[in-house]
Structure 1
Amino acid sequence: MIIPKSKSKLVTIVIHILIWGVFGMIYFFQPITWNVAVPYQLWIKQSIVLGLLIVAFYLNSFVLVPRFLLKNSTTIYFMIIVCITATIVLLNIYVDGWLKLPQLMDAAFHRHGPPKHRTGRNHDFDFYMIAQIALVLGVSTSATAIQKWQFDKQKHQEMEQDKISSELSFLKAQINPHFFFNTLNNIYALTLVNADTSRKAIHQLSRMMRYVLYDTQNSTTQLSQEIAFIKDYISLMQLRLTEVVKIDFSSPAALKDMAIAPMIFLPFVENAFKHGVSATQPSHITIAVEQKNTAVELIVVNTIIKEQSNNLEEGRGIGLNNTRRRLDLLYPGKHTLLIDENTAGNIYSVHLTLNLS
């Protein structure tokens, strides 16, 4: 699923507000729970440190991670991170001395007794500051990496969607010139023999053209429309076949309409007519569409014609590879495709199952 950019930006803003809300609670709410009258200098120091952490967060997010870490310049990246960490720690020490905060805090905690006079700085606070900086930079790096991954994934999905549309357009372009031209020739010949049949064929051809040119513009169509298209295709293909070719087609009597990718069945049916019929040899094609709850199955079985064995693998390989890729893009994890070529029995079978839930 492709997330709209406006929604993605809103989620990012909310995440950042939550992150700094947590840090704000730590820096400004925690001292209130100490039950001592903390000097105002503490709030100045906390504001300065929080500001430094915010600068480090967004410097890392917008500059360091994209320019160095994501471009495999990890050594330079970690050297800069160490410098930033050292700078913030030194500034924290300087602010403590400038505001005389250690003495003021010592006096606040020992208001009812003599303050303890420390001979040196308590470095536990410095290690605590380093841990905070590491946490902030770690969150910054993780958030930026996740955003980059989501952006790349969205771009990949958009490219795949464009690829699907291009392949569908290519499939329609393949049908239009060859199939329609040959069918028009067959209908022209029919007009000299059987006017009623030719009128019916023209009507079927117009339905198919409408479906190919207009109804497949969207990403999905209705299952009933896809089956009707296959029926018209079979009926028109039979115009050029002789009596030695037997065609059997079946579909559910009580069909439950569902959304399906347009022209997803056609390559398998077209493949059967292209390589499974002969003008002289007995041959047969069996096409069945079955529906079981949300699952739809297409079964195509056809004779393998020996005289077409020279270009059989080439013709089938390209079409089936494209079809497999389209199925992987449209129904990832929701389809099975079983293809069996029984050369001994001269039978080629396809069993496609789609989960349309």
Structure 2
Amino acid sequence: MTATTLRTFLTPLTHMLVWGLFGVVFVLYPPLSGHVVFPAEFWLKQGVLFGVWVAIFYLTAKVTVPRLLFRGHTGQFVLALLFTAVAVLVFSRFLENLLDLHEKLTLAFQAAGIPPRPPKPGFRLDNMSSLTTMLVLGISTSITVVQKWQHETRQRERLEQQEISAELSFLKAQINPHFFFNTLNNIYSLTISNGEKARTALHRLSRMMRYVLYETSGGTTRLSQEISFVLDYMELMQLRLTDRVTVTFERPEPVHDVLIAPMLLLPFIENAFKHGVAATAASRIHIALRQPNLTTVDFEVCNTKLALPNSDLTGSNGIGLVNTRRRLDLLYPGRYSLEVTDPTADNEFCVKLTLRLA
């Protein structure tokens, strides 16, 4: 049973229970203790007033509050409540006169040996009815306002979640084409120089595409799958590298298969291959993935800092890294740290990511 279905079932049941309790207190319980036998007209008046209180409760909740208070007509809303309260009191007085209730209650008190109270001149205010009417109007207004606030909060949370999901999809969609664009350029170069390597590259690329299309749709992936994807990417990139480039990858043995966001590690590695490799100079790329414990993943990528355009997290060449930082903010708020050292003592550009998983 969903939360919406449960609320749909419980709401009318709650209303019936509350009104049942209200009826016991205000209708069946006489306002005076002792052995007074109240006339039938008293119970008739209480029953009719009970129905009036139910009516003004829902009138206030469904009409007065939504159409006046929620639309900013506060003055009209207050006047409507005062008019409703006065109307109920006038109607209560009308019932008393119609049923000749004052005289019949006087006879009932005399029969019980209780001296009757002398009637007050002019309009007599029924304190019990007045208090009950104001209580009903106040509760109706309060409940309606709280329900609207809760509904708006749920809607706002739902919209925020939808916006986050849409933004994550957008960021992921930006990262994936960015990667495949670079990879296809590499394969194009290989088709000219080495057909066998090009076929190997295409096979690895198809395996990586299968991972991206079918293994990452759930929003999380196993760390071992992400490592396999990274290895495929590294081997694909190394097909075009010379012996002047040294690539090392350090990983835990065995790997604790925790769940992480897919395609989260690739932009760091892609940035290293894009900005840390040169055909005319010796260079180095070192990638390390460590698991200090079952809930922490440390990922570090260092590459030789070459005399190339800026490759930091805010530069135009690092769009994948900019998107990755935004994904981290959305997926791991307060549970990640990202350190950039540029340059290090060894003249390297280093990025270190620490994820604290649930």
TM-score (norm 1): 0.80
**Residue 18 (structure 1) aligns with:** 14
> AA paired with 1:170?
Q
CA distance in 2: counterparts of 1:355 and 1:104, whole angstroms: 78
Deviates more, 1:310-319 or 1:77-86: 310-319
1:342–1:56: structure 2 CA closer, same or farther, 3 Å change rule?
farther
1:231–1:19: structure 2 CA closer, same or farther, 3 Å change rule?
same
Q: How many residues align?
A: 348
Rg (Cα) greater in structure:
2
The alignment partner of 1:298 has SS state of strand
**Residue 8 (structure 1) aligns with:** 4
Deviates more, 1:79-88 or 1:292-301: 79-88
Deviation at 1:25, TM superposition (A): 0.5
**Residue 185 (structure 1) aligns with:** 188
> AA paired with 1:180?
T
Deviation at 1:90, TM superposition (A): 3.8
8 Å CA contact 1:56, 1:137 repeated in 2? no
Does structure 1 residue 165 correspond to structure 2 residue 169? yes
The alignment partner of 1:241 has SS state of coil
Unaligned runs of 5+ in 2: none
1:332–1:42: structure 2 CA closer, same or farther, 3 Å change rule?
farther
1:17–1:312: structure 2 CA closer, same or farther, 3 Å change rule?
closer
CA distance in 1: counterparts of 2:167 and 2:106, whole angstroms: 68
Does structure 1 residue 146 correspond to structure 2 residue 129? no
Deviates more, 1:60-69 or 1:279-288: 60-69
Does structure 1 residue 324 correspond to structure 2 residue 330? no
1:112–1:43: structure 2 CA closer, same or farther, 3 Å change rule?
closer
**Residue 301 (structure 1) aligns with:** 302
TM-score (norm 2): 0.80
Deviation at 1:21, TM superposition (A): 1.4
Q: Alignment identity in percent? A: 33
Deviation at 1:293, TM superposition (A): 0.8
Deviation at 1:63, TM superposition (A): 4.4
1:259–1:96: structure 2 CA closer, same or farther, 3 Å change rule?
farther
8 Å CA contact 1:300, 1:349 repeated in 2? yes
**Residue 282 (structure 2) aligns with:** 282
Deviates more, 1:235-244 or 1:118-127: 118-127
**Residue 156 (structure 1) aligns with:** 160
Unaligned runs of 5+ in 1: none
Deviation at 1:232, TM superposition (A): 0.9
8 Å CA contact 2:223, 2:259 repeated in 1? yes
The alignment partner of 2:239 has SS state of helix
- What is the root-mean-square deviation of aligned Cα atoms in Å? 3.4
**Residue 132 (structure 1) aligns with:** 136
CA distance in 1: counterparts of 2:267 and 2:14, whole angstroms: 52
1:59–1:356: structure 2 CA closer, same or farther, 3 Å change rule?
farther
> AA paired with 1:302?
N
Report Cα offsets for 1:231-255 as digits up to 9, x if no partner. Answer: 1111112223333332221222112
CA distance in 1: counterparts of 2:10 and 2:16, whole angstroms: 10
The alignment partner of 2:337 has SS state of strand
Q: Indicate which of 174, 189, 200 corresponds to 2:178.
A: 174
